[in-house]
Homo-oligomer: A and B are copies of this chain.
Amino acid sequence: MQAEVKSLNEECGIFGVWGTPDAAKLTYIGLFALQHRGQEGAGITVNEDGQLRTKRGFGLLTDVFDSPNAVADMTGTAAIGHVRYSTAGSNLLENIQPLPFNFSDTQFALAHNGNLTNAISIRKNLEDRGAIYHSSSDSENLMHLIRLSRANNLDDQMKEALNTIKGGFAYLVITKDRLYAALDPNGFRPLVVGQLPNGAYVVCSETCALDAVGATFKFDVQPGQLIKIDDSGITIDQYTTDTQLSICSMEFIYFARPDSDIYGVNVHSARKRMGEMLAQEQPAPDADMVIGVPNSSLSAAMGYAEASGLPYEMGLVKNQYSARTFIEPTQELREQGVNMKLSAVKGVVRGKNVVLVDDSIVRGTTSRRIVKLLRDAGAASVHLRIASPPLRYPCFYGIDIQHVRELIAANKTIEEMREMFGCDSLGFLSVQSLIDAVDLQTDAPNKGLCVAYFDGKYPTPLYDYEAEYDRDQAQLQKMR
């Protein structure tokens, strides 16, 4: 629908494999390891003897593939898959990926992680020329550009199309006889290649999915690369050489799984170093213990504890079934102390001065709730430490941080936030320490990290979002 064409930024996970039996099953298992990257939709396209077949739906993988046969029936030797996080408005089945395309004489399917910054312009332009889009997703643009290309072969059509789109993207495109993988010129999103024991190539968002399927890591896909995998092997090409690494720092801070490595850096270890540096920059000398918000902040909490010499404790327990429930406590019940997702361990925190480590703060509502939870459980004091810098600017490359007015740190001072959260002290990690904690081995700006949501310095033009960004900043000025 019209209103939905605009806000299609998303974070997602992708997985592809070429040349092995059980391709769909391996894709399911790989996506299962990437489920944290998207829980609102999932799909798999399988290639069986050159015919593509797609199954996709809303919810978790286990909602879409809800019986043992759901995957087993998808026989074939190549496949791509997608798990999707989406903003509220765009809940159309047509937007769930892989997006399948059937032509009189051929078929395609594509899966995309990222956000295009010139999607609206391209779509309007092509629609004026008669194009009909299936979805309201920015991802679909690539297919139209490929088909409209006048280049002589599919490789060149891909390159022409990839050079037209802008923004953050890791793309998988499967056809009857090949699998393409492509990364944007800044490498905003992670993408890795591995190999199964039988020699088949796998390409996916994170190394944890390689581990899950028993594949060996081969290399990180580089900015501007176009990889082609077919029955004759793998071909690595550049569709552009105008590249500069600027990988999303939120992948290291929050998004990726701790057991994944990105450009050679283990995510858990990077987070632990963030915690260590945080302990140095923002000490809490009188505290009795360090606890982390489960599960994403545990690594940073361990690092803080180790660097500060304070004991690391289990002061919060997360309900392991909370991935989904249709029933939520009402506001009234919540105020009576009802809590379904997180519990404070009274026996641990009662009477203690607690350092609470969290990975990041977006709106601040969760922080306030957790601080209250600990106080209600008897904590004597709560010192909140955030293992990343304050989030102040939107992301246009694939993470759902769209509206500055929703970012608490864009609107309030540290002291205002501390008061709002009800904690005894509050401290953030500095941008430089974040960069040093990740410590990518590159001489690109910010050591190859995108930190634009912290400092507002975007590594590319914003294209269709330029006006929106200006409007948001103006609104923010007024609010201050």
Interface positions of A (Cβ within 8 A of B)? 1-2, 5, 22, 25-26, 28-29, 32-33, 35-36, 51-53, 60-62, 65-68, 70-72, 101-107, 120, 123-124, 127, 130-134, 136, 143-144, 147-148, 196-197, 208, 211-214, 257-259, 261, 266, 268-269, 295, 298-299, 302, 306, 311-314, 317, 319-330, 333, 336-340, 343-348
Contacts and interface: CB of A to CB of B under 8 A. Distances in A.
A102 B136 contact: yes
A120 B103 CA distance: 11
B131 A317 contact: no
Contacts of A51: 1-2
B321 A106 contact: no
8 contacts: A1-B52, A26-B338, A33-B319, A65-B327, A259-B346, A266-B346, A295-B320, A320-B323
Nearest to A145: B130
For this chain, the copies found in one complex come to 4
A197 B5 contact: no
Contact of A317 (B105, B106, B213, B257): B257
Nearest to A52: B1
A52 B92 CA distance: 13
Across the A-B interface, the 6 shortest Cβ-Cβ residue pairs? A214-B337, A266-B347, A130-B148, A259-B345, A214-B336, A259-B317
Contacts of A269: 347-348
A141 to B, nearest CB: 11
Nearest to A101: B132
A81 to B, nearest CB: 12
A193 to B, nearest CB: 17
B320 A320 contact: yes
Contact of A104 (B2, B62, B322): B2
A208 B107 CA distance: 42
Contacts of A323: 320-321, 323
Nearest to A53: B1
A257 B67 CA distance: 30
B312 A62 contact: no
A221 to B, nearest CB: 20
Contacts of A103: 2, 127, 132-133
A28 B327 contact: yes
Contacts of A147: 127, 130-132
Contacts of A299: 314
A44 B143 CA distance: 29
